[in-house]
């Protein structure tokens, strides 16, 4: 939902809410009340409702509902049910009384428990409206994201079908080269096999949203091996990863972008300052780090389309349950990524 639509819906809601509320008061409330007190009380009461509504809508709900922290949400609702009469008491029974000499409640009824109970109708009412409003917004945004992902996936599937002939042709050709060179040049044959595995992985596994972590690690290792082969092994890189990744899964082709960046922009021939790629699992989370030295004349595009796409993808798949930190100082470029394992 766009901000303009959201603001418009809120304005319509408050126009109807306040209008119906004032109509009800004009019918049920006595007309012989002091006009100054009545005006100030109405303004203060409306501002209090706005405060409680948007405390819940803008701060509490976004921190609890997307992450399914239901117990914290319930505790916060009870807290606001108490905050509402507390603020109202200070405003009406203390400040307004000093200004106008009028109490809203009979002094005999100013018992704390009774005051909270008597105001619970107003506080619960505004809290329910804010909860319903946020749930509708959350549902709208979630459906929009799912629809966008579905369309993007269908477009990718269509493109994959159009290009289906090319991968099959390449697989068959590479396998033929591998067979021809297996006996005469086993080193080149091994590289061709790695290239074939990488092509197959990119072609087929990328169609899945999630892939096995161990398969992603093999893909990264093959990429590193072929990069070393390209420069006759004169590549300073350290790749550390868990030997037993189990059945953990991560989003497909998520990490290769950072590896490509490190090799493309980093200094890869300084064995005193190698490119360091580390993968580890801890407490059900994946921790990925990449560090590389770079030339001062070489600037990284931190706001490039690659980083933006990955950030957007992580935000959709792991809203507020991941971290991606990219730091660059005078000599080093550092990437740190954590996300939950499936």
- 167 shares a domain with 232: no
Nearest CA-CA partner of 200 in 219, 186, 224? 219
Mean pLDDT of 95-114: 79
pLDDT per residue as tens digits for the range 105-164: 776 667 788 888 888 888 899 999 999 988 888 888 888 777 777 777 766 665 655 555
Nearest CA-CA partner of 66 in 143, 150, 144, 135? 135
Does residue 32 lie in a domain region?
yes
Whether 218 and 256 have beta carbons less than 8 Å apart is answered as: no
- 309 shares a domain with 261: yes
- 188 shares a domain with 91: no
Q: How many residues does the chain have?
A: 342
- Which residues make Cβ contacts (< 8 Å) with residue 250, sequence separation at least 6? 210, 211, 213, 216, 286, 339, 341, 342
Categorize the per-residue pLDDT at 83 as very low, low, confident or very high, splitting at 50, 70 and 90: very high
Categorize the per-residue pLDDT at 51 as very low, low, confident or very high, splitting at 50, 70 and 90: very high
Q: Give the range among 74-78, 128-132, 191-195, 221-225 with minimum mean pLDDT.
A: 191-195
Whether 275 and 238 have beta carbons less than 8 Å apart is answered as: yes
Does residue 63 lie in a domain region?
yes
According to the model, what pLDDT value does residue 165 have? 46
Q: What is the SS3 assignment for 145-193? A: HHHHHHHHHHHHHHHHHHCCHHHHHHHHHHHHHHHHHCCCCHHHHHHHH
Does residue 259 lie in a domain region?
yes
According to the model, what pLDDT value does residue 151 have? 74
The residue from 114, 131, 153 where one domain ends is 153
Mean pLDDT of 233-247: 83
- 9 shares a domain with 111: yes
**Is the pLDDT reported for residue 72 higher than 50?**
yes
Does residue 54 lie in a domain region?
yes
Does residue 158 lie in a domain region?
no
Whether 221 and 196 have beta carbons less than 8 Å apart is answered as: no
Q: Considering Cα of 205, then 207, then 211, then 217, what sign does the dihedral take?
A: positive
- Give the whole-number percent of the chain exceeding pLDDT 90: 12
Burial (CB < 10 A; 0-12, 13-18, 19+), residue 167, is middle
Does residue 129 lie in a domain region?
yes
According to the model, what pLDDT value does residue 205 have? 66
How many structural domains does the chain have? 3
- 296 shares a domain with 255: yes
pLDDT per residue as tens digits for the range 298-341: 454 444 556 777 888 888 888 888 899 888 887 888 999 999 98
According to the model, what pLDDT value does residue 255 have? 86
- 181 shares a domain with 119: no
Does residue 285 lie in a domain region?
yes
Residue range(s) defining the domain that contains residue 139: 3-153
Does residue 9 lie in a domain region?
yes
- 172 shares a domain with 77: no
Categorize the per-residue pLDDT at 34 as very low, low, confident or very high, splitting at 50, 70 and 90: low
- 94 shares a domain with 24: yes
- 131 shares a domain with 9: yes
Mean pLDDT of 11-22: 81
- 149 shares a domain with 9: yes
Mean pLDDT of 205-234: 81
Residue with the larger pLDDT of the pair 214 and 244: 214
- 170 shares a domain with 104: no
- 233 shares a domain with 256: yes
């Amino acid at each position: 939902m766009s901000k303009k639509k959201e603001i418009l819906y809120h304005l319509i809601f408050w126009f109807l809410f306040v209008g119906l509320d004032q109509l009800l008061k004009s019918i049920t409330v006595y007309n012989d009340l002091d006009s100054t007190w009545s005006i100030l009380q109405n303004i203060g009461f409306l501002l209090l409702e706005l405060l409680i509504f948007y405390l819940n809508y803008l701060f509490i709900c976004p921190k609890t509902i997307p992450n399914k922290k239901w117990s914290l949400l319930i505790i916060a609702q009870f807290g606001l049910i108490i905050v509402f009469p507390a603020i109202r008491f200070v405003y009406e029974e203390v400040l307004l009384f000093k200004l106008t000499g009028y109490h809203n409640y009979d002094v005999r009824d100013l018992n704390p428990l009774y005051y909270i109970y008597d105001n619970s109708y107003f506080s619960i009412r505004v809290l329910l409206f804010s909860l319903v409003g946020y749930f509708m917004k959350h549902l709208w945004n979630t459906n929009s994201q799912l629809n966008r992902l579905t369309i993007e996936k269908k477009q990718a599937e269509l493109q994959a079908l159009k290009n289906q002939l090319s991968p099959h042709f390449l697989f068959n050709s590479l396998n033929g080269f591998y067979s021809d060179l297996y006996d005469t040049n086993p080193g080149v044959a091994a590289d061709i096999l790695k290239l074939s595995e990488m092509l197959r992985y990119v072609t087929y596994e990328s169609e899945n949203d999630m892939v096995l972590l161990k398969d992603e690690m093999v893909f990264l290792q093959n990429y590193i091996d072929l990069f070393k082969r390209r420069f006759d092994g004169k590549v300073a890189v350290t790749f550390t990863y868990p030997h037993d990744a189990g059945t953990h899964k991560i989003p497909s082709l998520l990490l290769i972008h950072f590896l490509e960046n490190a090799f493309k922009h980093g200094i890869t021939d300084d064995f005193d300052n190698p490119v360091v790629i580390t993968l580890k699992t801890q407490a059900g989370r994946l921790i990925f780090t990449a560090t590389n030295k770079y030339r001062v004349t070489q600037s990284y595009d931190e706001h490039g389309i690659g980083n933006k796409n990955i950030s957007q993808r992580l935000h959709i798949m792991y809203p507020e349950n991941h971290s991606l930190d990219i730091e660059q100082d005078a000599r080093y470029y550092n990437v740190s990524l954590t996300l939950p394992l499936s």
